[in-house]
Chains A and B, each alone.
Chain A
Amino acid sequence: KAGVTQTPRYLIKTRGQQVTLSCSPISGHRSVSWYQQTPGQGLQFLFEYFSETQRNKGNFPGRFSGRQFSNSRSEMNVSTLELGDSALYLCASSLGDSRYEQYFGPGTRLTVT
């Protein structure tokens, strides 16, 4: 089975711009979660989608949003980028029911200048 894929792998944006990151989960997985990893804060949960519905949301401002499509692929969007948004953004997929193993993609490294 193919693993979780994320595109793009690297991205450089300017402060004030917006960005969209994409995640394709493992085939058959219906849940997609997004995390932000920074050196100072570690892995922070952004949100989780299951069957196109947001089931859970972390403590991030409204500039961070996401969605999930009927094929379980997911996108996250960050508007009005700030320097502090520079981070590794990780997507993880799981079956989403009683199993909690989440399988991560390689991440998107976002640099905001």
Chain B
Amino acid sequence: DQQVKQNSPSLSVQEGRISILNCDYTNSMFDYFLWYKKYPAEGPTFLISISSIKDKNEDGRFTVFLNKSAKHLSLHIVPSQPGDSAVYFCAASGRGSTLGRLYFGRGTQLTVWP
């Protein structure tokens, strides 16, 4: 049962443009959401997170938006750079029985071309 879904396996964007990666979740107990970036043969690198008490969080070129009513979040990268090309994973967690556990989406391969 995939509780976190990334429906787009790939996204291709021109350098300098905005990249928008989307993620949906089904478990209403999730209250913390994270984005990770992963290069081949490396572990995921933490990018940015957002708590369910907020609807937006920014860090430099990265902004995450959370729409709780739609159970949807998105990651915006502006401007996109070729070095951003990687697989991006959305993850979610909560309290209680999910403590210490992240639920991951299947990832979206972002390609930024010059």
Taking Cβ atoms with an 8 Å cutoff, the residues of A that contact B are 4, 31, 33, 35, 42-43, 45, 48, 50, 55-56, 58, 90, 92, 94, 96, 100-107, 109
Contacts and interface: CB of A to CB of B under 8 A. Distances in A.
Interface string B89-110: 1000100011111111111000
A50 B101 CA distance: 12
Contact size range, B: 20 to 34
Nearest to B51: A100
Q: What 5 A-B pairs have minimum CB-CB distances, sorted nearest first?
A: A104-B43, A48-B100, A43-B104, A100-B32, A100-B93
A42 B43 contact: no
A100 B49 contact: yes
Contacts of A31: 100
14 contacts: A42-B107, A43-B44, A43-B104, A56-B97, A56-B101, A90-B43, A92-B102, A100-B32, A100-B34, A100-B49, A102-B34, A104-B44, A106-B42, A109-B41
B97 A90 contact: no
A55 B99 contact: yes
Nearest to B36: A104
B67 interface: no
A109 B44 CA distance: 14
B43 A50 contact: no
A101 B105 CA distance: 16
A42 B88 CA distance: 12
B113 interface: no
Contact of A42 (B34, B45, B105): B105
